[in-house]
């Protein structure tokens, strides 16, 4: 008889003796969860010989109607979890042991250590609120967002989340409905019109860098540098501006020159003068001539 065979027979004999003298320790893979202490030496309370742990053995104590709402002894839970009860009701055909693991010892106390979202039936895989309704935040952002949590959150963790502003269902372009507390208080932002559109400078990917196209209103050049106070009076708001503080401008002279051109509404200078180039103003806004003659230089 060769040595490997002798070794195998010795191990087999010692294992049989151990199982005969201490059957519970020999066949038990680990301690039960603390909640199942009373079943520590009653294997057949859960196990059916040759069939593992059928769901019927679990529901004999854990009623499907009571899961998440009541204790095994029938008492009402102090903090009922209706979503848990609903999940088990809709997933009643599954095997309890697919998610609930026993014999994991006292250091592993998760009630459903084997649960993964991949185990859910198709009708539940996208219905996050079926289980997590009680965890849905009540802030303004989540009240506006669409119903599918999976667009921002993953099944691995609530955070970090990726957010798409296109998911907003109400006030989608009203940045202040969510970001009022984020609005800067510097002189520039304090001077803006209260109804100013944040998106005219900022985009949804990040607050900075911001892009403000001043040329939409007036283009700077060497004679008109970008010094805000030249045109905007500090504290008056950037919607208000004036052009009479430079060169030889005077309101009376400007009024007279525009009347000669048949222009009566002349105080909104940038409507026609989008730069310091006099020729640009000849056709008025949109290229349509306003008045008959050419403008003389005011300088």
CB-based contact 112:100 (threshold 8 Å): yes
Please check whether residues 107 and 35 belong to one and the same domain: yes
Q: How many CA atoms lie within 13 A of 149 on its CB side?
A: 21
Please check whether residues 230 and 280 belong to one and the same domain: yes
Q: Percent of the chain scored above 90 by pLDDT?
A: 0
What's the pLDDT tens digit per position in 33-77? 888 888 888 888 898 888 888 988 898 888 888 888 888 888 888
**Does some domain include residue 192?**
no
**Does some domain include residue 299?**
yes
**Does some domain include residue 189?**
no
| Model-wide pTM > 0.75 | no
Containing structural domain, residue 231 = 213-299
Of 132, 163, 193, at which residue does a domain stop? Answer: 132
Question: Total structural domains in the chain?
Answer: 4
**Does some domain include residue 183?**
no
Task: Check pLDDT > 60 for residue 119.
Answer: yes
**Does some domain include residue 273?**
yes
Task: For residues 5-30, give the mean pLDDT.
Answer: 72
Of 172, 198, 226, at which residue does a domain stop? Answer: 172
3-state secondary structure 240-283: CCCCCCCCCCCHHHHHHHHHHCCCCCCCCHHHCCCCCCHHHHCC
d(C-alpha 145, C-alpha 135), whole Å: 15
**Does some domain include residue 179?**
no
**Does some domain include residue 271?**
yes
Longest Cα–Cα distance of the chain, Å, equals: 125
Please check whether residues 101 and 148 belong to one and the same domain: no
What's the pLDDT tens digit per position in 215-268? 888 888 888 888 888 888 877 777 778 887 776 677 888 888 888 888 888 888
Please check whether residues 218 and 299 belong to one and the same domain: yes
CB-based contact 237:185 (threshold 8 Å): no
Please check whether residues 105 and 76 belong to one and the same domain: yes
**Does some domain include residue 201?**
no
Task: Check pLDDT > 60 for residue 295.
Answer: no
pLDDT at residue 15, as a whole number: 77
What's the pLDDT tens digit per position in 264-293? 888 888 888 888 777 777 654 433 434 333
Please check whether residues 116 and 43 belong to one and the same domain: yes
What's the chain's average pLDDT? 76
Please check whether residues 65 and 11 belong to one and the same domain: no
Of 102, 132, 162, at which residue does a domain stop? Answer: 132
């Amino acid at each position: 008889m060769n040595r490997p065979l002798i070794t195998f027979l010795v191990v087999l004999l010692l294992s049989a003796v151990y199982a005969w003298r201490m059957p519970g320790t020999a066949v038990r893979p680990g301690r039960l969860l603390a909640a199942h202490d009373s079943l520590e030496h009653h294997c057949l309370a859960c196990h059916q010989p040759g069939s593992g742990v059928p769901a019927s053995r679990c529901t004999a104590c854990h009623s499907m109607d009571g899961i998440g709402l009541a204790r095994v002894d029938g008492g009402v839970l102090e903090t009922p979890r209706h979503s848990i009860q609903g999940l088990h009701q809709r997933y009643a055909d599954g095997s309890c042991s697919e998610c609930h693991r026993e014999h994991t010892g006292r250091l592993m106390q998760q009630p459903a250590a084997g649960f993964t979202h991949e185990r859910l039936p198709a009708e539940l895989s996208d219905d996050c609120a079926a289980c997590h309704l009680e965890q849905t935040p009540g802030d303004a952002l989540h009240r506006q967002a669409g119903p599918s949590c999976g667009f921002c959150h993953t099944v691995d963790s609530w955070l970090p989340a990726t957010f798409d502003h296109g998911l907003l269902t109400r006030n989608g372009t009203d940045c202040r409905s969510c970001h009022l507390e984020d609005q800067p208080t510097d002189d520039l932002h304090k001077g803006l019109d209260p109804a100013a559109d944040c998106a005219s400078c900022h985009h949804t990917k990040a607050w900075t860098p911001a892009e403000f196209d001043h040329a939409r209103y007036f283009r700077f050049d060497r004679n008109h540098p970008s010094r805000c106070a030249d045109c905007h009076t500090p504290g008056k708001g950037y919607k208000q501006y004036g052009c009479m503080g430079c060169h030889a401008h005077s309101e009376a002279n400007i009024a007279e020159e525009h009347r000669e051109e048949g222009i009566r509404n002349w105080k909104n200078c940038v409507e026609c003068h989008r730069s310091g180039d006099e020729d640009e103003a000849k056709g008025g806004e949109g290229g349509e001539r306003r008045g008959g003659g050419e403008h003389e230089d005011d300088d």
